[in-house]
Homo-oligomer: A and B are copies of this chain.
């Protein structure tokens, strides 16, 4: 890694494209002046925006392409039409070529994952990549993964996720041995839970460095902050995330209509405004924007497609932290150790 953190941006990704990406990058640069940027996309659209952000312009390189992966493209379409030349591909490719340390895109998740897998490949010892994100809890934040990179997971994939998620928690929360829980449902004796139970056995019986396995957690334990890292397969993980977002929005909507119910409640709201501001900050989805693709030979960050510059800056910030604190090296460390334990077990040495 160079002294500066070099960030490749898919400037065309997301619902708004460069009009969010450019000011977002400018905000991120203000926070981390030791960053430099490469923006990939349509120069006729990006240049005027860069001109309006001279601080960013002085720390950014612009690489033109007029090929864009659309939000509605299927992953296979995106690969067919956008490989080698789209802004999304080029941002990832900059990481592959060592020209950037991290790629950030607000483009479509399926396409981004397909391109990232195709170009960067999975790390040695990792079968499948996963998507992880920080989740606000009553006690702070936790990491939840997989949020939808793949569906279903065998025991070994769940253990890999525990390894990757705990490396991410070490980076983001600065703790040496994050607690890890496996997401499960209350009823134990149900067919289909074998991979989860087997992953639990491995994590319990073959302890790994930097992982404090605490057992099963249920859906309502995520928000309680019961574990620093919550591991599940991608279908349930994606649905948990979206359902939580939906419930938060629902609550905010109820609150809004409660406040507007009478003159007294509006007056009450005015008195309590700073408190409500705190509440809004806590629930602000922009603050926890930035899904991290884990398990690839490179760091790729997915921002929400509909975010604003502040939210996009938060996604860049996540990428910056991952690079500064050497996420990949941290994952590699634990993977190696896990492979040694597994090899010892295969050789019959685990019981000694």
For the side of the interface on A, what is the size category?
A: 35 or more
A148 at the interface (CB under 8 A from B): yes
Q: How far is the CA of A137 from the CA of B242 in the complex (A)?
A: 14
Q: Once the chains bind, are B245 and A220 in contact (CB under 8 Å)?
A: yes
Q: Once the chains bind, are B186 and A148 in contact (CB under 8 Å)?
A: yes
Q: Once the chains bind, are B251 and A275 in contact (CB under 8 Å)?
A: no
Q: Once the chains bind, are A242 and B265 in contact (CB under 8 Å)?
A: no
* Segment touching B, from A13-21, A252-260, A312-320, A333-341: A252-260
Q: How far is the CA of A136 from the CA of B273 in the complex (A)?
A: 27
Nearest CB to that of A270 among chain B residues? Answer: B268
Cβ–Cβ < 8 Å partners of A74 in chain B:
188-189
Nearest CB of B to A124, in Å: 23
- Identical chains in the assembly: 2
A248 at the interface (CB under 8 A from B): yes
* Segment touching B, from A24-32, A36-44, A80-88, A229-237: A229-237
Q: Once the chains bind, are B109 and A187 in contact (CB under 8 Å)?
A: yes
Q: How far is the CA of A129 from the CA of B262 in the complex (A)?
A: 46
* Segment touching B, from A47-55, A166-174, A205-213, A277-285: A277-285
Interface positions, chain A 149-196, Cβ under 8 Å from B, are 150-152, 183, 185-193
- A239's partner among B76, B137, B239, B268 (CB-CB below 8 A) is B239
**Known A110-B188, A271-B268, A278-B261: A243·B240 in contact at CB below 8 Å:** yes
A125 at the interface (CB under 8 A from B): no
Interface positions, chain A 71-124, Cβ under 8 Å from B, are 74-76, 109-110, 113-114
Interface positions, chain A 213-244, Cβ under 8 Å from B, are 218-224, 232, 234-236, 238-244
A61 at the interface (CB under 8 A from B): no
Nearest CB of B to A140, in Å: 12
A1 at the interface (CB under 8 A from B): no
Q: How far is the CA of A272 from the CA of B270 in the complex (A)?
A: 10
Q: Once the chains bind, are A271 and B265 in contact (CB under 8 Å)?
A: yes
A348 at the interface (CB under 8 A from B): no
Nearest CB to that of A238 among chain B residues? Answer: B185
**Known A151-B192, A190-B151, A246-B219: A259·B234 in contact at CB below 8 Å:** no
Cβ–Cβ < 8 Å partners of A270 in chain B:
268
A249 at the interface (CB under 8 A from B): yes
Q: Once the chains bind, are A191 and B243 in contact (CB under 8 Å)?
A: no
Cβ–Cβ < 8 Å partners of A137 in chain B:
250
Q: How far is the CA of A119 from the CA of B320 in the complex (A)?
A: 59
Q: How far is the CA of A283 from the CA of B273 in the complex (A)?
A: 22
Q: Once the chains bind, are A151 and B220 in contact (CB under 8 Å)?
A: no
Q: Once the chains bind, are A223 and B236 in contact (CB under 8 Å)?
A: no
List the 7 closest pairs (A to B, CB-CB), nearest first.
Answer: A219-B242, A151-B192, A268-B272, A220-B246, A268-B271, A219-B243, A265-B272
- What are 27 inter-chain pairs, A to B, with CB distance below 8 A? A74-B188, A75-B189, A109-B187, A110-B190, A137-B250, A148-B187, A150-B191, A151-B190, A151-B191, A151-B193, A185-B242, A190-B234, A219-B245, A220-B242, A220-B243, A223-B243, A223-B246, A224-B250, A247-B251, A254-B282, A254-B283, A255-B279, A258-B279, A261-B274, A261-B278, A262-B274, A264-B271
